[in-house]
Structure 1
Amino acid sequence: MSCPGIADTDFLASALRFADCQAQTIGMQGYQALAAGGSPVGALLTGLLTILIALLGYRMLLGHVPDGREGVLTFVRIGLVLALSTSWAAYRVTIYDIVLHGPAEILGSIGGASDIPGATGGMISRLGAVDRAMTELSRLGISGNPAAPANASQAPGNEQAPAASQSQSQYDYEPATIFGSSSMGSARLIFLTATIAAYASVRLVAGLLLAIGPLFIAFLLFEGTRSLFEGWVRALVAASIGALTVTMTLGVELALLEPWLTDLLNRRYMNLSTSASATELLVVGLAFALILLGALAMAARLALAFRLPLTQLHRFAEQRAASERTSSTASTQNRTTVSGGEPSRAMAVAEAVAVAQRREGRAAVERSTPTGTLAQSSQRARDTAPPNTAPLGQGYRRRSQSRVSASSSKRDVRA
């Protein structure tokens, strides 16, 4: 496709058509060049498919046979990659037309119901007409013809007329001198810059992303590179939403500027002053430039929330496997705690019965041997519980009679 150049008589419309044509050409011709058999992307795709099949084979040799869900998802990925990376017909229907022509169709449905100018077609031509109207208004100026007030001031018998004429002339020319030459040019400059930058950015970015589509589609094969494919899809979604928001904003701007500029031109053709219009046009141009910037930022932020279904399934499987591992680890720890920690009541009773049985069996064996008497006595001494010890201070019985020594008894007898 040969895109038309920029025309001097219709600068804005020709620039927007050139950007749109370049976006479509880059997206179509770039994809076909990368999807060809001898291209580097084709060789990369062949190598990635070979590596994937080899990895699946080695996993099966090592005993890791994929289940039904994993096998079906793998074959689905391979089919999608081959279909979208090698077939222009499939790629155009599923991705190319949706990204480049889908926003215009959505805008036609929404803007047609809302009566947005240019929503059903012809927006570029109407933007060019607005640019030409601003150029014509800048050429005509914003002040009226002061000839009539000057002639009236020279009427005979009117002594206060020169002062009134001077003040009227100052009122007519002072706003034009301060705001006219600068604000009208600045308003047109901002209008052209915001319109071309916003429209061309979303279209050219979409065309470039569509051109390198086969490269990013190949990254869908592996888990480690799937995030690159997901990022590419997010960028396409952001470009599509951005194109929709930009065209909608430009349609609203057309609804404001078209009748306003028509009225200003009619007043200038009638030689009426429009001294306040220069600043007002500058303010409107700045406001819509900021609105376009905010619309692009919100479109990019909205596209960040996009997630692929395959990625969601993979994350769900990972979370499920992690939860199963956690539950198995917790059950193992519980069993270890029960067996190696504090024994339960049943285990204590069983251990006591086993100890008693072993003691009785040992005693029977020792009684049947010649030296069993000594062993029996020692065993009995060990098994016999020690006597109860009396509390401190109560080991001896208290005497009920006083103690009398032998010498005192002899003294009593002598006496």
Structure 2
Amino acid sequence: MTPCPGIVDGRFLESTLAFIDCQAQSLGAEGYQALVAPGGSLSVLLSGMLTIFIALFGYRLLLGEAPDMRSGIVAFVKIGIVFALALSWAAYRPLVYDVVMQGPASLVADVAAPSALPGTSGDLPARLGQVDRALQELGRPNIGSALPQAAQPQTTQANDAQAPQALRPPVSDPPSIFSPYSLGTARLTFLTATIASFASVRLVAGLLLALGPLFIGFLLFEGTRSIFEGWVRGLLGTAIGAIAVTLLLSVELALLEPWLATLILRRSTDPFLSGAATELLVVAFAFALTLIAGLGMAARFAMAFRLPATLRALPGRWASALADESGRVTLPLRAPLTSGLEPPSRAARLGDTVAQIERREAREREMQTQATGGYGATAPRDRASSGPQASGLHQRRGVRNRISASAGRRDNQP
């Protein structure tokens, strides 16, 4: 590991910013490689998490809970992401590290190019250092250019009107609690706001990148997925914050650089700068508050990120596409949902229950009809209402010949 350069005498601000940037990049890159090294504690932890995840999936199969196409695709996607990003620096660097560390600078260069803001082409620390040295120059006593002594008062007003401007007393700034220390306080505010805002986005990004394999492993389980989502939000917030800080500091440079150059030239004729120290303090303090607002805006935007909905909806679309193309995989028929996360409504569940009851009763009626030969009580109504049926032989009454008693005696006579 190459040590980062320290603070250089006479170049305090730019050397401090360079040191912070070097530490952030080395922390993110070398910290990641140290965590995923073979035999490391985090490598063993990730292997254990993968083993537990696969074991739980296998127990579901043993217990007869066969996963559908969506669950299978989600499981394989999780395992692929963990193996690709948490155990391989070659995949982690272009997909995560370079996006967070190098992406904001490239985006700022494209956005600020039309407006020609200073410092957006990679020379921001050097330009900020020049502003700091200009503030130091203004605070240095102007020896040899003191205000000349005022001439003796003249008796006539004409002579007073003809007095040169250099002999008149300067316009003093209204007194305030910062009046004796306005210029020093302005430099203090400028340095604090610049270093704090730059360090907050770069060092936090380096720390999150170094711990990336640990947070990526939490993607495997449903209960810990929110931790992975929080890690993604943190990286997104640092990236947006870096963009905001760079643009705001560039705007501050565009205001301070020509103004400070003019004030340095004025010191030869106006050593008191006629209230410019207070104005510099106001500008430095205002931009410090603006940097805080920019970081808060970045954090608020990052909190709007939601990961689970994307992970659940996308595999479902893949499964539906595969089922339609193959024609051999059929997913359970469900009512259409408005979101991949919403369960079926109560009305949809009641409708499914009623349909199942009707299908079961229809099957029972069909079985009863087959058992009675088609003449049972469950025969269709069109048979019963088709009209009277012709009676068969088994429906006729038995008829006997009726013989009277006299006819019988006559037949029996000899």
C-alpha displacement of 1:153: 2.3
Paired with 2:34 and 2:179, the residues of 1 have a C-alpha distance of: 52
Query: 1:175, 1:275 within 8 Å by CA — same for their partners in 2?
Result: no
1:191 aligns to 2:190 (yes or no): yes
1:145 aligns to 2:146 (yes or no): yes
Q: SS at the partner of 1:59?
A: helix
Give the counterpart letter for 1:206 in structure 2: A
In structure 2, the partner of 1:32 is 33
Matches within 5 A, 1:12-27: 12-27=13-28
Query: 1:234, 1:304 within 8 Å by CA — same for their partners in 2?
Result: yes
1:150-187 residue CA offsets vs partner (Å, 9 max, x unmatched): 2x2267989997xx99xx87655676997653100111
Matches within 5 A, 1:191-270: 191-270=190-269
The sequence identity of aligned pairs, in percent, is 53
Paired with 2:294 and 2:18, the residues of 1 have a C-alpha distance of: 22
Query: 1:141, 1:180 within 8 Å by CA — same for their partners in 2?
Result: no
Match of 2:348 among 299, 321, 327: 327
In structure 1, the partner of 2:284 is 285
Give the counterpart letter for 1:267 in structure 2: R
Query: 2:173, 2:275 within 8 Å by CA — same for their partners in 1?
Result: no
1:354-391 residue CA offsets vs partner (Å, 9 max, x unmatched): xxxxxxxxxxxxxxxxxxxxxxxxxxxxxxxxxxxxxx
Q: Give the TM-score, by structure 2 length.
A: 0.73
In structure 2, the partner of 1:182 is 181
Query: 2:124, 2:250 within 8 Å by CA — same for their partners in 1?
Result: yes
Indicate how the Cα distance of structure 1 residues 243 and 117 shifts in structure 2: closer, same or farther if over 3 A, else same.
same
Indicate how the Cα distance of structure 1 residues 177 and 94 shifts in structure 2: closer, same or farther if over 3 A, else same.
closer
Query: 2:170, 2:270 within 8 Å by CA — same for their partners in 1?
Result: no
Give the counterpart letter for 1:306 in structure 2: F
Paired with 2:46 and 2:235, the residues of 1 have a C-alpha distance of: 21
Matches within 5 A, 1:106-145: 106-140=107-141, 145=146
Query: 2:86, 2:213 within 8 Å by CA — same for their partners in 1?
Result: yes
In structure 2, the partner of 1:79 is 80
1:247-300 residue CA offsets vs partner (Å, 9 max, x unmatched): 000000000000000000011134554122111101101110111000000000
Paired with 1:329 and 1:48, the residues of 2 have a C-alpha distance of: 40
Q: SS at the partner of 1:2?
A: coil
Q: Give the TM-score, by structure 1 length.
A: 0.72
In structure 2, the partner of 1:64 is 65
Paired with 1:266 and 1:176, the residues of 2 have a C-alpha distance of: 25
Query: 1:99, 1:206 within 8 Å by CA — same for their partners in 2?
Result: yes
* Bigger share in helix: 1
Larger Rg: 1
Give the counterpart letter for 1:258 in structure 2: E
1:344-363 residue CA offsets vs partner (Å, 9 max, x unmatched): xxxxxx9xxxxxxxxxxxxx
Q: SS at the partner of 1:113?
A: coil
Query: 2:119, 2:127 within 8 Å by CA — same for their partners in 1?
Result: yes
Indicate how the Cα distance of structure 1 residues 270 and 145 shifts in structure 2: closer, same or farther if over 3 A, else same.
same
Query: 1:26, 1:211 within 8 Å by CA — same for their partners in 2?
Result: yes
Matches within 5 A, 1:155-166: none
Paired with 2:174 and 2:152, the residues of 1 have a C-alpha distance of: 22
Paired with 1:205 and 1:97, the residues of 2 have a C-alpha distance of: 15
Query: 2:183, 2:280 within 8 Å by CA — same for their partners in 1?
Result: yes
C-alpha displacement of 1:7: 1.9
Give the counterpart letter for 2:344 in structure 1: S
Indicate how the Cα distance of structure 1 residues 331 and 62 shifts in structure 2: closer, same or farther if over 3 A, else same.
same
Paired with 1:37 and 1:146, the residues of 2 have a C-alpha distance of: 73
Indicate how the Cα distance of structure 1 residues 225 and 326 shifts in structure 2: closer, same or farther if over 3 A, else same.
farther
1:310-360 residue CA offsets vs partner (Å, 9 max, x unmatched): 1555894442xx216752246548999xxxxxxxxxxxxx9xxxxxxxxxx
Indicate how the Cα distance of structure 1 residues 177 and 216 shifts in structure 2: closer, same or farther if over 3 A, else same.
closer
Query: 2:147, 2:271 within 8 Å by CA — same for their partners in 1?
Result: no
Paired with 1:75 and 1:281, the residues of 2 have a C-alpha distance of: 59
Q: Which moved more, 1:206-215 or 1:2-11?
A: 2-11
Aligned residue-pair number: 329
Query: 1:217, 1:229 within 8 Å by CA — same for their partners in 2?
Result: yes
Paired with 2:188 and 2:232, the residues of 1 have a C-alpha distance of: 34
Residue ranges of structure 1 left out of the alignment (5+ in a row): 337-349, 351-415
Indicate how the Cα distance of structure 1 residues 288 and 173 shifts in structure 2: closer, same or farther if over 3 A, else same.
closer
Q: Which moved more, 1:323-332 or 1:113-122?
A: 323-332
Give the counterpart letter for 1:257 in structure 2: L
Paired with 1:293 and 1:169, the residues of 2 have a C-alpha distance of: 43
Indicate how the Cα distance of structure 1 residues 174 and 228 shifts in structure 2: closer, same or farther if over 3 A, else same.
closer
C-alpha displacement of 1:129: 0.3
Paired with 1:177 and 1:224, the residues of 2 have a C-alpha distance of: 58
Q: SS at the partner of 2:344?
A: helix
Query: 2:170, 2:274 within 8 Å by CA — same for their partners in 1?
Result: no
Q: CA RMSD in A?
A: 3.1
Query: 2:118, 2:253 within 8 Å by CA — same for their partners in 1?
Result: yes
Query: 1:179, 1:278 within 8 Å by CA — same for their partners in 2?
Result: no
Indicate how the Cα distance of structure 1 residues 329 and 318 shifts in structure 2: closer, same or farther if over 3 A, else same.
farther
Query: 1:146, 1:169 within 8 Å by CA — same for their partners in 2?
Result: no
C-alpha displacement of 1:86: 1.1
